[in-house]
């Protein structure tokens, strides 16, 4: 993939994440802030499907943006064909792992399998 | 009192008093079998209001220590040979008057982000290689390298010229690359000099090699590694603004500019 395409995705995910995290923060104003981290409240959020979808999208956007940022930082630290390949594939794998683990949490909480 | 040697009508001209500054010259010889450790030689040099740093270094070289290595040629900020760190900032030695530094001690060191050849002389191989890499010439209609022939030469409006003319002033002195923080860590980074030159030709209405050139700089150590610190533009002795050129080039790559 060309670097300009990757950077387009990088900037796009940043803008998307800012907008959606703003919505996520605004949701906190629907109740007392101290209540928002109560167990029942968190589970209720996950079980409200549009909100669970919002969290999933934020997870994907931030993972893509964050791991590409990490890739860029690591590429600037050291150079070398093997190193750069390892960094690129390593970051891609870590990104998928984080998305998979986060999605699992969201799906399980949303499906009510968390007691 | 009339001074000896001055014409009578010039006797009233105020002559700036000369003073003495301490010139610290970085000394290093990587080729030295003993390890080539870096040190400084310290000299007291008399300076006048018009004395440049290069004048002072050449004064030391001529009268005190012949072994000081310094590269220079035109002495008028045209050849780009005498770039060095002067009191920590990349400058042209021939274009920097000691008086304007406002310091009694002047420290000169080789430019950062370049391999040191000896003392104040650095190797420009990487700079020239990156410069060559972005095809720094107008590509003709047939996609051929080199300048267009007479038949291909096209007139330009002042507005078309305005888009790139400041970037034509680059003298390849390397000061921008020396000031660039990305160059310090990323040894494969193309660098602000080459990127500014890429913009110079991409923005040229006569050039037909835009796509090819954009492809060259659109790689993992290309244009996207610039953090827009802007230090390249701060230090350019010719008033070129590489940081702006890089942002404008990004506009082409992202499709904001046509």
Average pLDDT for residues B167-188, to the nearest whole number? Answer: 96
CATH topology (fold) of B12-122? Ubiquitin-like (UB roll) (3.10.20)
Residues of B in contact with A72 (CB under 8 A): 224-225
The answer to whether B225 contacts A76, with C-beta atoms less than 8 Å apart, is yes
Q: What is the CATH number of domain B125-254?
A: 1.10.1060.10
Residues 27-46 (A) with a CB less than 8 A from some CB of B: none
pLDDT score of B1 more than 60:
no
Cα separations in angstroms, A91 against A25, A74, A76, A84, A88: 28, 10, 14, 11, 5
Residues of B in contact with A84 (CB under 8 A): 220
Confirm if B223 and B202 have CB atoms less than 8 A apart. Answer: no
pLDDT score of B144 more than 70:
no
The answer to whether B222 contacts A3, with C-beta atoms less than 8 Å apart, is yes
* Interface pTM, i.e. ipTM: 0.82
Cα of B207 vs its chain's centroid, Å: 25
User: CA dihedral defined by A103, A106, A109, A113, rounded to 10 degrees?
Assistant: -20
Q: State the distance between the two ends of chain B, measured CA to CA, in whole angstroms.
A: 69
The secondary structure of B95-155, three-state, reads HCEHHHHCCCEEEEECCCCCCEEECCEECCHHHHHHHHHCCCCCCCCCCCCCCCCCCCCCC
Residue B52 DSSP one-character state: B
Write the pLDDT tens digit of every residue in B99-111.
999 999 999 999 9
Residues of B in contact with A80 (CB under 8 A): none
Can you tell me the distance from the alpha carbon of A33 to that of A45, in angstroms, rounded to the nearest whole number? 14
User: Is B187's Cβ below 8 Å from some Cβ in A?
Assistant: yes
Please give the residue of chain A at the shortest CA–CA distance from B182: A76
- pLDDT value, residue B52: 97
Query: What is the total residue count of chain B?
Result: 258
Average pLDDT value over all residues in chain B: 90
Average pLDDT for residues A87-102, to the nearest whole number? Answer: 97
Every domain of chain B with CATH number 3.10.20.30 lies at 12-122
Can you tell me the distance from the alpha carbon of B52 to that of A65, in angstroms, rounded to the nearest whole number? 49
Query: What is the total residue count of chain A?
Result: 115
What percent of chain B lies above the pLDDT cut of 70?
87
Confirm if B239 and B166 have CB atoms less than 8 A apart. Answer: yes
Position B218 confidence tier, pLDDT thresholds 50, 70, 90: very high
**Beta-carbon neighbour count of residue B152 at 10 Å?**
15
> Where does residue B82 fall: left (phi above 0), alpha (psi -120 to 50 degrees), or beta otherwise?
alpha
Position B2 confidence tier, pLDDT thresholds 50, 70, 90: very low
Confirm if B36 and B28 have CB atoms less than 8 A apart. Answer: yes
Write the pLDDT tens digit of every residue in B18-55.
799 999 999 999 888 766 688 999 999 999 999 999 99
Can you tell me the distance from the alpha carbon of B118 to that of B245, in angstroms, rounded to the nearest whole number? 32
What are B23's strand-pairing partners? B43, B106
What domains does chain A contain, in order, with CATH numbers? 3-111 (1.20.1300)
What are B25's strand-pairing partners? B41, B108
Cα separations in angstroms, B28 against A27, B64, B70, B96: 63, 17, 12, 23
> Which of these ranges, B1-5, B131-135, B219-223, has the smallest mean pLDDT?
B1-5
Name which of A1, A3, A82, A92 to mutate to probe chain B: the one with the most chain B Cβ atoms within 10 A of its Cβ.
Answer: A3
Name which of A68, A73, A76, A81 to mutate to probe chain B: the one with the most chain B Cβ atoms within 10 A of its Cβ.
Answer: A76
pLDDT score of B146 more than 80:
no
Every domain of chain B with CATH number 1.10.1060.10 lies at 125-254
The answer to whether A76 contacts B182, with C-beta atoms less than 8 Å apart, is yes
């Amino acid at each position: 993939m060309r670097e300009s395409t990757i950077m387009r995705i990088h900037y796009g995910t940043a803008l998307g994440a800012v907008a959606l995290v703003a919505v996520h923060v605004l949701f906190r104003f629907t109740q007392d802030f101290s209540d928002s981290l109560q167990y029942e409240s968190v589970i209720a959020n996950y079980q409200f499907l549009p909100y669970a979808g919002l969290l999933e999208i934020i997870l994907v956007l931030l993972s893509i943006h964050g791991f590409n940022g990490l890739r860029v930082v690591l590429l600037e630290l050291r150079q070398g064909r093997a190193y750069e390949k390892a960094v690129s594939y390593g970051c891609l794998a870590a990104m998928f792992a984080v998305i998979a683990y986060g999605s699992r949490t969201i799906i399980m909480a949303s499906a009510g399998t968390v007691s | 009192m009339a001074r000896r040697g001055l014409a009578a009508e010039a006797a009233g001209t105020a002559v700036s008093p000369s003073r003495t500054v301490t010139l610290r010259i970085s000394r290093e010889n990587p080729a030295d079998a003993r390890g080539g450790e870096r040190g400084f030689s310290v000299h007291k040099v008399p300076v006048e209001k018009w004395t440049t740093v290069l004048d002072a270094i050449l004064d030391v070289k001529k009268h005190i220590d012949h072994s000081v290595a310094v590269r220079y040629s035109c002495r008028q900020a045209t050849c780009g040979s005498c770039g060095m760190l002067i009191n920590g900032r990349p400058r042209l030695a021939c274009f920097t008057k000691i008086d304007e530094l406002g310091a009694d001690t002047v420290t000169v060191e080789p430019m950062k982000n370049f391999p040191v050849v000896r003392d104040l002389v650095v190797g420009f191989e990487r700079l020239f290689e990156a410069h060559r890499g972005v095809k720094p010439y107008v590509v003709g209609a047939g996609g051929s390298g080199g300048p267009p022939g007479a038949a291909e030469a096209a007139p330009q409006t002042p507005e078309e010229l305005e888009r790139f003319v400041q970037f034509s002033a680059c003298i390849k002195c390397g000061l921008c690359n020396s000031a660039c923080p990305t160059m310090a860590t990323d040894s494969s980074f193309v660098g602000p000099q080459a990127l500014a030159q890429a913009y110079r030709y991409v923005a040229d209405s006569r050039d037909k090699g835009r796509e090819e050139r954009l492809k060259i700089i659109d790689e993992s150590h290309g244009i996207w590694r610039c953090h827009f610190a802007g230090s390249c533009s701060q230090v350019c002795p010719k008033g070129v603004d590489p940081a702006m050129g890089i942002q404008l080039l990004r506009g082409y790559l992202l499709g904001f500019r046509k």
